[in-house]
């Protein structure tokens, strides 16, 4: 099983390196389907996987000046309290049948939303430019905090959303932000959010630490390989296959 976990980590890492889409949308359904983890443990394990694997990327973007800390701070002002409140709610209700059902449906919805953001990636920029006149600076700040709240709840319930959905929300609110800074800001926000949510799930006993270690061993070379393959694979083909996989996984989880 350890070798299967290492191979799974390698595969997810390669896809993340190839597409730039966060591992949560790929790893959590895999943990549920292939490793037969219950949704709560799969989500908690993936949150730690995301926090650790994205830390290196966040540091690299920081060194290159690709992080807008004003936007990151506004997002965290909404996402971290929302994550803490969501984890507190989970402690209160416990992982009863209804609580587990909430996690499962949240995961399915998050996967479908991720598929939509990936499929129409180029359209969000144009929509963001049209929204500019409706979003003066004060409204934009409020909308950024509210976006953080949405991400905090979604990521805590599903482990999915900090990557593709987070980047899309930033693009809608800040369409003139340079691509490198958009990616760097998204990753810089994702690391503390997934870490806070991961700590919360660990407090509930929702992390398989041994499996997490094996996944991380496989993911590091996988991410490197995926990054090398980006020039060889047609973007439209990769995006189409990824969307089909996300929709299939979302429907299967919800079903």
For residue 154 the two structure tokens come to 């979604």
Q: Is the dihedral of CA 233, 23, 187, 160 positive or negative?
A: positive
Q: Give yes or no for a contact between 39 and 32, defined as CB atoms under 8 angstroms apart.
A: yes
Tell me if residue 137 falls in helix, strand or coil: helix
pLDDT tens, position by position, 139-189: 999 999 999 999 999 999 999 888 888 989 999 999 999 888 888 898 899
Predicted confidence at residue 20, as pLDDT, reads 59
Average pLDDT, the chain: 86
Q: How far, in Å, CA of 163 to CA of 193, rounded?
A: 11
Residues of the chain with pLDDT under 70: 1, 17-24, 97, 227, 230-239, 241-246, 249-250, 252-255
What's the length of the chain? 255
For residue 5 the two structure tokens come to 């976990």
Predicted confidence at residue 118, as pLDDT, reads 78
Number of H helices, E strands in the chain: 11, 0
Q: How far, in Å, CA of 172 to CA of 247, rounded?
A: 23
Residues 6 or more apart whose CB falls under 8 angstroms from that of 116 comprise none
């Amino acid at each position: 099983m350890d070798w299967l976990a290492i191979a799974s980590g390698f595969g997810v890492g390669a896809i993340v390196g190839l597409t730039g889409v966060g591992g949560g949308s790929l790893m959590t359904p895999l943990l549920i389907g292939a490793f037969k983890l219950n949704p709560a443990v799969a989500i908690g394990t993936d949150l730690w996987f995301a926090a650790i694997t994205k830390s290196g990327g966040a540091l690299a973007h920081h060194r290159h000046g690709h992080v807008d800390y004003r936007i990151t701070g506004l997002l965290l002002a909404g996402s971290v309290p929302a994550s803490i409140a969501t984890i507190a709610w989970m402690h209160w209700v416990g992982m009863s049948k209804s609580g587990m059902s909430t996690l499962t449906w949240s995961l399915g919805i998050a996967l479908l939303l991720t598929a939509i953001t990936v499929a129409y990636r180029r359209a969000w920029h144009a929509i963001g430019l049209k929204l500019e006149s409706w979003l003066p600076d004060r409204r934009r700040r409020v909308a950024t905090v509210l976006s953080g709240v949405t991400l905090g709840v979604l990521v805590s319930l599903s482990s999915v959303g900090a990557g593709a959905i987070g980047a899309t929300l930033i693009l809608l609110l800040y369409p003139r932000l340079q691509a490198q800074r958009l990616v760097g800001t998204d990753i810089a926000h994702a690391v503390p959010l997934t870490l806070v949510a991961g700590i919360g799930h660990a407090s509930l006993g929702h992390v398989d630490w041994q499996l997490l270690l094996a996944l991380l061993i496989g993911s590091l070379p996988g991410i490197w390989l995926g990054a090398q393959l980006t020039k060889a694979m047609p973007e439209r083909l990769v995006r189409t296959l990824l969307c089909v996989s996300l929709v299939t996984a979302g429907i299967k989880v919800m079903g």
